[in-house]
Structure 1
Amino acid sequence: MLEILQNLEFTPFLLSFKLAALTTLILFILCLPLAWYLSQTSSKAKPFLEAVTALPIVLPPSVLGFYILFALSQNSPIGAFFDEYFDVKLVFNFTGLVVASCFYSLPFMVQPLQSGFENINKNMLEASYVSGKSKFETIFRVAIPNIKPALMTAIIVTFAHTVGEFGVVLMVGGSIPDETKVASVAIYEMVEIMDYTSAHIYSAIMVVISFLVLLSVYMFNSKQNKKFGGFHK
């Protein structure tokens, strides 16, 4: 058993964590204003935007992966533009994985943030505006500090969801060692060659990571609920 552990390649896990960290950071920056807008707007376009952001949840990963692959390939205007002007290929490399992961994990960042913003006491926001604070200051000094459970849920679940991606990353990135071969793809290849011992070890590591991530979310939210519950009493 010790010999098997010594021979295991852990680069796929490092790639998975790197991909998840970059995806989470990018989505946080992009989704924060989007979630705020969706939580505050009464526009007729709101249901359409919510449906678009939630689409990756219901679409099969193979369908989403196919369209992302098509959109980023050199045969598409987007892929051709980046290839010609920036000499950047967006498929079968790590850059393409990041782009694909941002699409795939989008709802897992947007929805918790939107829910958190919607549950904020409106009187707090109005008081901020009345006191002369701008919308930007209100978001960062009033809104965000009061949605810590939602914020933590969005960040951790997005990270964990990205670590566990398979269908989308396989279609867009393939399985290039040290470049696009993440942990989920490595497990799939081990099963294909019937290396079940290594697949068990990799899978067990993924189960432990997923459990610890979810446990941290629930423990943090429970602590926050007790804190604010005691405050309100």
Structure 2
Amino acid sequence: MLNLAPEDWLAIQVTLKLCFYTTLILLLIGTPLAFWLAQAQSRWRTAIQALVALPLVLPPTVLGFYLLLLLGPHGAIGSTLEALGLRHLAFSFSGILIGSVIYSLPFTVQPLLEAFRRMGQRPLEVAATLGANQWDQFFNVVLPLCRGGFVVAATLTFAHTLGEFGVILMLGGSIPGETQVLSVLIYDHTEAMNYSQAHQLSLGLLVTAFVVLFIVYGLNRRLEREVSL
């Protein structure tokens, strides 16, 4: 039975909030980006695709460090905000949200890119000949045909955000109710030798990760069967 302290529940709330907003923002940003990458013939396509995938190989502490410099009180964005009478974004929920969006970007774009490539151009060309505008094509053609890609992208993004640590710790620290997410709290519990609480939270994340991967692989198998038919 779970025996979580108030700080544990607070960290769960912050984590779920971060996961929700990260997933929502990345679906809005990643959809047009992935669609452009799937369709464009621009010479910039390879460079942009490399930038999108960079968080997959870049140590999260490196990304967190540079975002801290950029969003902090002496950074280009942070100092500009303070000059306007606003607070800089380091060690705030808004700051870790920005870091989370950047770090989880490839987990949204890659599944959508694969779904758009699998769909191909033919359905859009047929819809265009029937008089469908771009919005009609997106809602009546792209969404139904690529629904599996959207589900996988949203699921992977949400799950990846659950386990983010390096970027969050570098950029947001460990402020209860503001930037202290589950992964950071597990580290704090372990550092304080509070292994019982760390074990409960870690086990919860482990089970969640397994369920997410089970769903993703199940969806991929279903999509492969649909394509083969």
Structure 2 distance, partners of 1:203, 1:104, is: 21
1:79 corresponds to 2:78 = yes
Q: Deviations over 1:71-110 (max 9, x none)?
A: 1112122112223336132110111111110110011111
1:106 corresponds to 2:105 = yes
* Cα 1:7–1:17 shift into 2, 3 Å: closer
The answer to whether the 8 Å contact 2:172/2:179 transfers is: yes
Where 2:89 maps in the other structure, the secondary structure is coil
**Which segment is superposed worse, 69-78 or 57-66?**
69-78
**Counterparts of residues 52-201 of structure 1 (less than 5 Å):** 52-85=51-84, 87-201=86-200
Query: Structure 1 counterpart of 2:170, which letter?
Result: M
TM-score, scaled to structure 2: 0.93
Query: Structure 2 counterpart of 1:68, which letter?
Result: L
**Which segment is superposed worse, 213-222 or 13-22?**
213-222
Identity among equivalent positions (%) equals 39
What is the deviation of 1:218? 2.5
Structure 1 distance, partners of 2:115, 2:4, is: 45
**Counterparts of residues 8-27 of structure 1 (less than 5 Å):** 9-27=8-26
Query: Structure 1 counterpart of 2:115, which letter?
Result: G
The answer to whether the 8 Å contact 2:64/2:167 transfers is: yes
Structure 2 distance, partners of 1:28, 1:14, is: 21
Where 1:119 maps in the other structure, the secondary structure is helix
Structure 2 distance, partners of 1:76, 1:137, is: 43
Q: Deviations over 1:27-72 (max 9, x none)?
A: 1111111111110001111100000100011100111110111111
TM-score, scaled to structure 1: 0.91
What is the deviation of 1:223? 3.8
CA RMSD of aligned residues (A): 1.7
* Cα 1:132–1:214 shift into 2, 3 Å: same
Structure 1 distance, partners of 2:19, 2:168, is: 12
Query: Structure 2 counterpart of 1:126, which letter?
Result: E
The answer to whether the 8 Å contact 2:4/2:197 transfers is: no
Structure 2 distance, partners of 1:51, 1:161, is: 19
Q: Deviations over 1:133-173 (max 9, x none)?
A: 22232222211210122111100000000110000000111
Q: Structure 1: which 5+ runs fail to align? A: none
**Which segment is superposed worse, 139-148 or 129-138?**
129-138
The answer to whether the 8 Å contact 2:186/2:201 transfers is: yes
